[in-house]
Amino acid sequence: MSRRHFLRTCTAVALGLSLLLVHLTSAQRGATLRIYLARHGQTDWNVEGRLQGSTDTHLNDTGRQQARELAKRLTGLQLDAVYSSALSRSRETAEIVHGSVPLTSLAGLNERKLGKFEGLRVAATTTAGAPTRASSNDSAVTQEYVRRTTDPADSLDGGESLTQFSTRISTTLATIRKQHASGTLLIVGHGVTNKMILRALLGLTLEQANTISQANDELYLIELDRAVPPRLWKLITEKTLGEL
């Protein structure tokens, strides 16, 4: 083989490898599923500190404004689909945001059914409907709520156990992911629903998931790509600059 022929062959091989790498990188990029995860806008019960659960409450004026702000933050993103729960506060938020993107409401994304505790006020030591802690100064209702909602088998007198709830959310997510192996989605959920979504997608323990507290106007992004571990991002706004 002449030197010129050898160099020509090496160049062709190098070019072929470069094109292969570009193709693989593009394929990997195309296989990424991006899920923007928002919580519904504020309701009057949020302001009052009442547990909503499966009770079908509606957005208040602040909640509708938060939904409009969410729509602005998503401007320029090419969403393939938007999902909400079947509860009004989630559906209303998604309706303000989705524009021309298909919107699907799934009861499988509804907030956890809280049984006897729905509509009751709890202390500020609980967040987004999920317990963090209770002190001896808290009311008996708050202490009972914190104790019982952390028991995976307790269905809260006509509500839904954590085991049942987690299974429901995981099953619903699996259904969504079967329809969207890649692309960009928005899910508008609830305080505890979103904890379970993150638990399922990131492989968190129940204890880890319960440390998450997403405000009504906060936005997360989960990137799912078989080539790398799941990635979780949070939008930092002027309000949350102190988290940097």
DSSP-assigned letters across all residues of 36-73:
EEEEPPPBHHHHHTB--TT----B-HHHHHHHHHHHHH
List the domain range (segments joined by +) for residue 55. 32-114+160-243
26 and 36 in a single domain? The answer is no
Q: Does residue 226 form part of some domain?
A: yes
**Is 106 found in the same domain as 1?**
no
Q: Are residues 109 and 1 in the same domain?
A: no
Q: Looking at the 3D structure of the chain, how many domains does it have? A: 2
**Co-location of 203 and 218 in the same domain:** yes
In a domain, 142, yes or no: no
pLDDT, residue 15, reads: 34
In 3D space, the residue among 41, 120, 130, 50 whose CA is nearest the CA of residue 88 turns out to be 41
Q: Please count the residues of the chain.
A: 244
Predicted confidence pLDDT, tens digits, the chain (244 residues): 454 443 343 333 333 333 333 344 444 445 899 999 999 999 999 999 999 999 999 999 999 999 999 999 999 999 999 999 999 999 999 999 999 999 999 999 999 999 999 999 987 555 555 555 666 667 888 889 988 988 999 999 999 999 999 999 999 999 999 999 999 999 999 999 999 999 999 999 988 998 899 999 999 999 999 889 999 999 998 888 888 8
Residue at 135 is within a domain:
no
For 1, the token pair is 């083989």
**Same-domain check for residues 166 and 219:** yes
CATH number (domain holding residue 217):
3.40.50.1240
Q: Are 75 and 98 in contact (CB under 8 A)?
A: no
Say whether both 42 and 98 belong to one domain.
yes
pLDDT of residue 131: 55
Clarify whether residues 43 and 11 are in a common domain: no
**134, part of any domain:** no
Q: Tell me if 123 is assigned to some domain.
A: no
pLDDT of residue 211: 87
Instruction: List Cα–Cα distances, 130 to 17, 103, 117, in angstroms.
Output: 52, 27, 12
Is residue 127 included in any domain, yes or no?
A: no
Same-domain status, 21 and 53: no
Please tell me whether residues 12 and 56 are part of one structural domain: no
Nearest to residue 218, comparing CAs of 194, 200, 244, 183?
A: 194
CB contact at 8 A, 114 and 122: no
Confirm whether 140 is domain-assigned: no
Based on the fold, state whether residues 9 and 48 are members of the same structural domain: no
Both 90 and 71 in one domain: the answer is yes
Tell me the pTM: 0.84
Residue 193 lies in a domain: yes
Give the active site residues: 40, 111
Q: Tell whether 60 and 14 lie within a shared domain.
A: no
Supply the pLDDT for residue 207.
87
